[in-house]
Structure 1
Amino acid sequence: MARLNKSLQNHTSIALVYFVLAAGLGCVLRFFRVLEIPVTYKFIVHAHSHVALLGWVYLALTTLLYKLYLSRAEVEKKYRNIFWFTQLTIVGMLLTFPFQGYAIFSIIFSTLFLFASYWFTWFFFKNVPVEYNHKQSLKCAKLALMYLLLSSLGPWALGAIMNTLGAASIWYRLAIYFYLHFIYNGWMIMALVAVFLYILDKQNISLSEKAFKIFFWKINLGIILSFLLSTLFTQPAVFYYILGGVGAFLQLWAFYDLFKFMSVEWTSIKRKFSNFFRNVIKVIGVLWLIKMILQLLSSIPYFANLATTYLDFTVGYLHLTFLGVVTISLFLFLDYFKLIFINRKRFLIYVLGFILSELLIFFKAIVSWQSATLFSEYYFILAVTSLLVLVAVLGVLLSSFKLSRT
């Protein structure tokens, strides 16, 4: 078991390497407006997003799912095969997207990654020990993987749309938004909920079966219906706004149920978890609440049009989810299971960089909305805040290398 944990620590370190690379590419994008950088901006955007979502988050989540549910199933060799095949696809994307954008080789590696995700999902469902079948967390984990599969319909559809309707078609954007919605709100959020419920269950803190079923149906029906919010740029019938709003409201309601449960169990949580764990959970809760309130607001036609017209609102929302809710949760959970080591000062630097960049992104969106003028040093300051995130993540990576060697 100790050898396996070392192996998983190494895998997590590889995920962090991808995060460092994604953060570095993000800095290139930010400094693009400050310095003369001889790159194609659009190509770097593609590389940045793919390495962040598929290198950092996907690998971190699948490593956690393996550790939690499969580490005693004696399937380590099969898992290693899947892991290294996945690395081939991610490195392939890293070496092609920055230089050619969406072209033959980057598309090949992206497609191979889809097959890698199908392979892992099949492997997971086949090998989870029966002792976990009644666990609430496993139900969330399995559904998270189903959302991952569902999201892949978006990339598959893109090829057909490009060959028939073209990139200017609304169906092209809808396919991308379908993919992003079910990756962010389905796969990532449900997988994190699964890990959190697993941690609580190990401390004998769990929802009643009735309460879990209500929470489970609310959040998942909400995830499915709220996809309609991603279609509002087409200005559809009012019915779509209402259903999308119902989806956003159901997710907010599910969050309230979880919050109420945590409040009741807080005495036990205080006794069984460290101050750091409890404080970070509070931060994640606040960020998740903000995310869902913004999502609910986007069901109102005025705000939906605002997000469509001023894309910095959408960029800020996506970064809030990725750098805030998802990444901070991953840092906490990976640290809890001793797969990485989070130095508290470096964590604070990361949070500072994240908060400052979010404030600046939303500030630019508001300035554009109000037809005002940005201050002259805006892009330079935004680029510097990105460096804070890069430095913090690099620090986490170096600490994790030391952990894996001890």
Structure 2
Amino acid sequence: MAVPTINLKTHTKLALGYFVLAALLGCVLRFFRVFEIPVTYKFIVHAHSHIALLGWVYLALTTLLYRLYLSNEKVHKTYRRIFGFTQITLLGMLFTFPFQGYAVFSIIFSTLFLFASYWFSWFFFKHVPLEYSKTPSLKFAKSAIIYLLLSSIGPWALGAIMNTLGATSIWYRLAIYFYLHFLYNGWMIMVLMAVFLHILEKQRHILPQRSFNRIFLGLNLGIVFTFFLSTLFTQPSATYYILGGFGAVLQLWAFYNLIAFLRGAKVNKSRIFSSFHQNILKIVATLWAIKMVLQLLSSVPYFSNLAVTYLDFTIGYLHWTFLGVVTLSLFLFLDYFNLLNLNKKMFWLYFSGFILTEALIFYKAIVSWQETSLFSEYIVVLAIASLVILVAVLGVLSSGNRLKAKF
């Protein structure tokens, strides 16, 4: 009996559904300071971050990886089991974190999620067709999964640290930062690079070996070395600042080489991407470049101290990466492969909400730094801006599906 194919559009809608829930939880956090809401703020923060990173982004990225490399293989049954198990872990986190924070059941489900990610990683490495083995895009995809596995050391270490050194230890924060760094900068960015290069490869634009070496090594070494930037809150020796700055320079160098390849190869973007998609690409490239410049700035002790002292600088940077670089890229690629219908009005509404919230978050950080006062309705405006993002994501989710796939 033939195994039915998997409807990846449904998986994409589920991922977007988690994004809606994460955005809703984000609005609860914003309106918590406007109205009296009977929730525990810290618990909602945990739920918001887990559902955003592991619900929306993780599912969207794994769906893309499956679509690109595995959808033509006879592995649907195994993938369906992995996907189903992952849903159990996500729903478990969704219904435990808001009510108990980090406690027995939420820890059980978040731990089970790690096993789900290990299962997917094994599945991917085992079943990727040999025809892709020498492609640059697959090397980026495999690197991404290695970073996903590496990042999981952070959560495992947290348990041991809490039982020995306690949550006030610097090692507790370091474990969290280790996890977030390799999840954001390793797993997420490298999958997005893999998808972009895969699209180019299908159009016969293959990275030359020299360009590949520069981009691949630059990004990977940059990811490793920029982790030292996450340790600067401990006020370590100058060596850590230098290593972190070196990592940021390497990433900028890799980015420069990617742009040089695209220009040198005379890639006809209009033949590959629609004008709408090209605009998103330009936005993502700009946001990514700014992200790397911010990393470089944070290797300077003065700016590093600012980021440590005024938490909104760090929050703004994390949202810049997640809501900007990563989410906008996901919207683009999911739309490109016909896994969702990206409504233009909803996209620009989302982008407007993103820019407004980022401006407000960084504004608050600057106000705190300069020891001045926020405008009187700041909290309300920030809450409304977050509501704009929620409405936009709901709009994207409710959009219909296109009939014609793109390749």
Q: TM-score range by the shorter chain?
A: over 0.9
Alignment partner of 1:37 is 2:37: yes
SS at match of 2:284: helix
Alignment partner of 1:191 is 2:191: yes
> How far apart are the structure 2 equivalents of 1:167 and 1:397?
38
Which residue in the other structure is 2:284 paired with?
284
> How far apart are the structure 1 equivalents of 2:5 and 2:281?
28
Alignment partner of 1:200 is 2:200: yes
Alignment partner of 1:386 is 2:366: no
AA at the equivalent of 1:87: Q
Could you list the runs of 5+ residues in structure 2 that have no partner in the other structure? none
Aligned length: 402
- Post-superposition offset of 1:278: 1.2
1:274-323 CA-to-partner distances (Å, cap 9, x unmatched) read 11111111000000011000011000000000000000000000000000
- Post-superposition offset of 1:33: 1.1
- Post-superposition offset of 1:265: 3.8
Which residue in the other structure is 1:308 paired with?
308
Which residue in the other structure is 2:143 paired with?
143
- Post-superposition offset of 1:262: 1.9
AA at the equivalent of 1:298: S
Q: Which moved more, 1:231-240 or 1:267-276?
A: 267-276
AA at the equivalent of 2:134: H
> How far apart are the structure 1 equivalents of 2:376 and 2:273?
46
Percent of aligned pairs with the same amino acid: 69
Which residue in the other structure is 2:331 paired with?
331
Could you list the runs of 5+ residues in structure 1 that have no partner in the other structure? none
Q: Please give the residue correspondences for 1:207-222 in structure 2 after superposition, counting only pairs within 5 Å.
A: 207-222=207-222
Which residue in the other structure is 2:321 paired with?
321
SS at match of 1:43: helix
Which residue in the other structure is 2:119 paired with?
119
> How far apart are the structure 2 equivalents of 1:273 and 1:17?
26
Q: Please give the residue correspondences for 1:27-106 in structure 2 after superposition, counting only pairs within 5 Å.
A: 27-106=27-106
Q: Is the 8 A contact 2:357 2:386 kept in 1?
A: yes
AA at the equivalent of 1:295: Q
- Post-superposition offset of 1:55: 0.2
AA at the equivalent of 1:67: R
SS at match of 2:339: coil
Q: Which moved more, 1:349-358 or 1:267-276?
A: 267-276
- Post-superposition offset of 1:213: 1.3
- Structure 1 pair 298–226 and aligned structure 2 pair: CA distance change class (3 A): same
Which residue in the other structure is 2:132 paired with?
132
AA at the equivalent of 1:158: L
Which residue in the other structure is 1:257 paired with?
257
TM-score using structure 1 length? 0.97
1:326-373 CA-to-partner distances (Å, cap 9, x unmatched) read 000000000000000001111000000000000000000000000000
Alignment partner of 1:10 is 2:10: yes
> How far apart are the structure 1 equivalents of 2:289 and 2:153?
29
AA at the equivalent of 2:100: Q
> How far apart are the structure 2 equivalents of 1:184 and 1:4?
31
> How far apart are the structure 2 equivalents of 1:403 and 1:104?
43
CA RMSD, 1 decimal: 1.4
Which residue in the other structure is 1:344 paired with?
344
Q: Which moved more, 1:199-208 or 1:319-328?
A: 199-208
> How far apart are the structure 2 equivalents of 1:214 and 1:256?
10
AA at the equivalent of 1:303: F
1:48-71 CA-to-partner distances (Å, cap 9, x unmatched) read 000000000000000000010001
- Post-superposition offset of 1:4: 3.5
> How far apart are the structure 2 equivalents of 1:374 and 1:268?
47
- Post-superposition offset of 1:273: 2.1
> How far apart are the structure 2 equivalents of 1:267 and 1:148?
31
Alignment partner of 1:23 is 2:23: yes
- Post-superposition offset of 1:37: 0.6
AA at the equivalent of 1:345: K
1:230-276 CA-to-partner distances (Å, cap 9, x unmatched) read 00000001011001100011001101111122223455223332111
AA at the equivalent of 1:74: K
> How far apart are the structure 1 equivalents of 2:378 and 2:289?
28
> How far apart are the structure 2 equivalents of 1:164 and 1:267?
55
TM-score using structure 2 length? 0.97
> How far apart are the structure 2 equivalents of 1:310 and 1:270?
43
- Post-superposition offset of 1:107: 0.0
> How far apart are the structure 2 equivalents of 1:36 and 1:20?
22
Which residue in the other structure is 1:274 paired with?
274
Q: Please give the residue correspondences for 1:219-238 in structure 2 after superposition, counting only pairs within 5 Å.
A: 219-238=219-238
Q: Is the 8 A contact 2:181 2:227 kept in 1?
A: yes
> How far apart are the structure 1 equivalents of 2:9 and 2:271?
28
> How far apart are the structure 1 equivalents of 2:387 and 2:217?
40
> How far apart are the structure 2 equivalents of 1:65 and 1:189?
13
Q: Which moved more, 1:259-268 or 1:99-108?
A: 259-268
AA at the equivalent of 1:380: V
AA at the equivalent of 2:344: R
> How far apart are the structure 1 equivalents of 2:266 and 2:370?
43
- Structure 1 pair 80–323 and aligned structure 2 pair: CA distance change class (3 A): same
Which residue in the other structure is 2:167 paired with?
167
- Structure 1 pair 312–110 and aligned structure 2 pair: CA distance change class (3 A): same
- Post-superposition offset of 1:226: 0.5
1:24-54 CA-to-partner distances (Å, cap 9, x unmatched) read 0000001111111110000000000000000
> How far apart are the structure 1 equivalents of 2:171 and 2:357?
31
SS at match of 1:35: coil
